[in-house]
Chain A
Amino acid sequence: MSAHLLAQAVVIGVITGAGYGLVALGLVLVHKSSGVFNFAQGEFGTVAVYTLYRLHDRIGVPLLPAMVVGLAASMAMALATERLVVRRLFDAPRVTLLVATAGVALLAISLELWLGEARLRFIQPALGRLDRLSLFGVQVSDQRILILGVLAVLAVLLGLFFSRTNRGLAILAVSQEPVATELMGISVRRLSSFIWGLAGLLAGIAGMLAAGDARSFGPGFMTFNTLIPGFTAAVLGGMNSLPGALVGGVVVGVAQSLAVSSSAFKAIPGPGSVMVFVLLVAVLTVRPQGLLGKA
C-alpha cells in the first residue's frame, strides 16, 4: 500500500476509533465500578438517537432541546436497567449479568425493530461543514472534529472524577470492597445508580455523534457497529483504565481501517471484523491486562 493510502487509512482509523473510544469509555466506567460487562451500552445510545430523531426530525422540536431529551432517554434506560436488572442480580456472577444486559440489548433492538421499523434512516448532521480540515486528502468534517474533541474532554473529566472527587473514590471503593464501603456510610445503591446514569449519558453522546457522522442509523446500529470494537478497545486499553479506553479505541479503529483498505485483505470478506477478532484474541492471550492496565 502506498504511503499516501496508508496515511489516509490511518486518519480514517483515528476518526472511527474515536467513536469506539467513546463507547469504550462507558464500558470501562461500568466495569471499573461494578465488574459488569454491559452489553446494553450500545443500545442506550441507539435509544437516544431514536428519541432525538423522533422529536427533531418528525415532530420538529429544535435541535438542542431534542438532544437533551434524547440524552435523558438513554439515561432513563440505563437507570431502569440498573434498577430492574442489575440490582436484582447484585450478588450474581458477572457472567449472569452479562447475559442479562445482553437480554436488555436484545429487547431494545426488538422494540426498535417493531416500533421504529426495520429500516435505515438517513439524517443530516448538526454540523454541516464537511471540509474543515484535510489530512492527507481525507476530509475531516466538523462533526468528526467534534467527536475527537468530545472524546478527549470526557476522558480527562472522567479521569479527574475518579481520582480527585470523593464520589469517584467512593465508587472505586465500592467496586473493591462493597461491604466495607457500605459500613462507612456510603450508599452503594445510590452510587450504582449514579454510575449507570453516567454510562447512559456517555452512550447517548456516543450514539448521537456516531449517527451524525455516518448520516444514517437503524435499529441496533450502535450494537452492531460499535459494541464489539468498543469492547475490544476497552480490553486492549485495560478494562479498568479510562485513558486506556481512548488509546484502545484509536488502536482498534486504525487496525480495522488498515485491514479494510489494505489490498492484502482483498480476498477476505469482512476484513474489519476479522481484524477486530484477531486483536481481541491476541490481547487476551498475550497481555490480558491490556496496554495500560495493571497486571
Chain B
Amino acid sequence: MTGRSSKVAVARGAAVALVLLLAAACGQKSNVGPDAAAPASAGQGGAGGAAAAGQAGSGGGGPDAVGAGSRPDAAPSGAPGGAAPVGGSASSPGSGGSTSPASGPGSAASGGGSTGSAAGAAGSAAGSGAPTGRSPESAGAPSGSAAGAGAGHGPGATAPMPAPPASGAGDRTGVTDTKIRIGIHAPITGAAPFPQSAFDKGKDVYWKYLAEKGGIFGRNVEIVFRDDQFNPSRAVQVCREMVEQEHVFILMGAAGSEQITACARYADTMGVPYLSAGVNEDGLTGLSSYYATSQTYVQQTPVLVSYIVNKLHKTKIAIVLNNTPALNETQQSVTKLAEAAGLDVVRNSRIGKNATDSELLSEANALRMSGAEVVYLLTSPVNFVKLATNAQAQAYSPVYLGPGITNGLNIVAEAGCPAIGQAKFLSPFPQLDVIDKLDPDYQKSYEKYNGQKGDDIGLAEWGLSKVIGAMLQAAGKDLSRQSFVAALQSGRQFNTNVYPVVSYSGSIRFGAKSSHLLEADCNSRTFKTIAEFTTGF
C-alpha cells in the first residue's frame, strides 16, 4: 500500500540521514579531557574551558589561554592570538592536534547563540599540555560538562595556543574594561525559609559602594545570582548556565555542602576559580580551582568543643548531622574531639536532608530519651527548626550549637523561637549588633542604596563581597583568571574586618582562621554576636 511503503521509504531515508550525520559528528576529534586546557573559546559557548591554563600551567606560563569569549560584552580585551573569533576555527592555527574545528555544526559561530568554534581542540589540548592528572574521567567518560564543552561548541574548544602569548594575556572571560561578572549560587529555596527576594537587595550594595570609589581599577562588579534549590544536580545546572551562557569570571557558592561540592567539581573541570563558604573538606580537597572563604566544619569543631567544655560546662552531648557522605569526616572529627575532651557522646545520629516530619519527631524524642544536654547540630535551618519545635513539644530543651553558615541568620530565630532557646552557631559574618563597630560603611551604604536598614542577609553579602573585592584588587589591573589565582595563592592575607582573615597557597585552600560565635536571643528574635573572630575558648 502506498501509505505503508512510503512510510518505510521515509523511515529509511531518515535513518540514512541520521547515520550520516552521526558519522560526521564522529568525524570530529573526540574530545575528551575535561581538564583540557582549552581556554575559553570563542563564541558563545565560551567560558568554560579556560583557565585550565591556570591549572595546567599552574600559575604562569603554560599554554596560555587565549582570550576567552569573543562575545562582545564579555569579550576580554582583545583576545590575543586566537580566541577563536566567531567563525570558529580559529583555534586551529597550529594548535596541536586540534581538529577541524568545526565540523558542520560547531563552526557555526553564527550570530546569536552560536557555539563558535569548536571542536575538539580541547581534547587535544588536554593531550598536549595539561599536566593535570585530574579529571580521571577523561580516560573513560569525561565528565559531561567539561567535555561537553568541547566539541561542537565553543567552550573549551579553542585550542591552547602553542606558545604563550605575550605576558599579560590570560583567560579574561567575564572581564571587560568596565565590568567583572561574578556568578553566585545559593539555596534560596529548600534549605531555609528565605523569602524569594531575600538576597536581591543586598547583593549589590558593596559593589555600588565600591563603584563610587572607582571600582576595582575602574571595573564594576556585576553579580549573577542563582537559586540552586538545595539540590546538587540543579547546582551543577545553574553553574553550567552561569559559566557557559553568562560567562562569569569566577563562581561562588554561598552555602550547602552538597551543592558546593558538586559545583566545585564542575568548576574544576572547566578551570573556573570557585570560592565558597567553608563546608566539608572531603570531596573538595585536591580540586585545583577551589578556595574556601570561611572555616570548614572540621576547622570549626575544636572551637565548638572547647566552648562546650569551658563555657557551657556540660558533659552529655548528642551529635546530629545531615545524612550525606560528605559529612562523615565531620562526624568522626566531632566524636573524636568530644571524647578526647572528656565529653560523653550519648547519641550520634544522622538525619536525612529532606527528613519527614515523623522522622524529625522521632529523632527529637530519641534525643530526649538520651538525656543529651547539648546537641551538636549540622543540618539545614528547616530541619533544625522542626527538630527544635518537636523537642520543645516534648518538654525537652537542650542547648543547640553547631558550625554553619546559615543557621545563625535571623530568619532562623524568627521561625524557631522560642523552641531554639539560646542556640549558638559559628558564622563567617558577625551579626547586626556589632557590625557598626566593625564596619560602619555597611549600614550607611545599605540605607543609601535601599532606603532602609540593612538586614543580616545583606550583611553576609556585604562581608563576602568585601573579601572578593579585596582579592580582585590584589589581582591587579591586568585581571585574568590567572592573575586572580596568583593573587590568591600568593599567601597574602585578606583582612576585611567582617569576614575572618583568609589566606591561601598553592596547597592550602581552606584558609580562614577564625569565625564569629552567634547566639539566639529569643526576646528580640534575632541572633547576637557573643564572640568575634574567635579561635577557641
- Chain A positions near chain B (C-beta within 8 angstroms): 5, 8-9, 12, 16, 117-122, 130-131, 137-139, 141, 214-216, 225, 256-257, 260-261, 269-270, 272-273
Contacts and interface: CB of A to CB of B under 8 A. Distances in A.
Contacts of B16: none
Nearest to A130: B393
B153 to A, nearest CB: 32
A3 B103 CA distance: 72
A12 B365 contact: yes
A261 B362 contact: yes
B394 A119 contact: no
A119 B392 contact: no
B416 A261 contact: no
Interface string B349-373: 0001000111101100110010000
9 contacts: A8-B365, A120-B415, A138-B365, A214-B357, A215-B386, A216-B385, A216-B386, A270-B359, A272-B358
B108 interface: no
B193 A261 contact: no
Interface in B189-218: 189-190, 192-196
Nearest to B195: A117
Contacts of A269: 323, 352
Contact of B362 (A130, A225, A260): A260
Interface of B: 189-190, 192-196, 229, 323, 352, 356-359, 361-362, 365-366, 369, 382, 385-386, 389, 392-395, 414-416
A119 B193 contact: yes
A216 B382 CA distance: 10
B361 A12 contact: yes
Given A5-B369, A122-B415, A139-B393, A16 B195 contact: no
B195 A260 contact: no
Given A117-B195, A270-B352, A272-B356, A257 B189 contact: no
The prevalent SS among residues of A at the interface is mixed
Given A117-B195, A117-B196, A120-B382, A138 B394 contact: yes
A256 to B, nearest CB: 6
Contact of B358 (A5, A119, A122, A260): A260
B193 A122 contact: yes
B356 A225 contact: yes
A257 B395 CA distance: 20
Contacts of A16: 358
Nearest to A131: B395
A119 B393 contact: no
A228 to B, nearest CB: 12
Contacts of A118: 189-190, 196, 229
A111 to B, nearest CB: 15
A82 B415 CA distance: 37
A241 to B, nearest CB: 25
Contacts of A256: 358
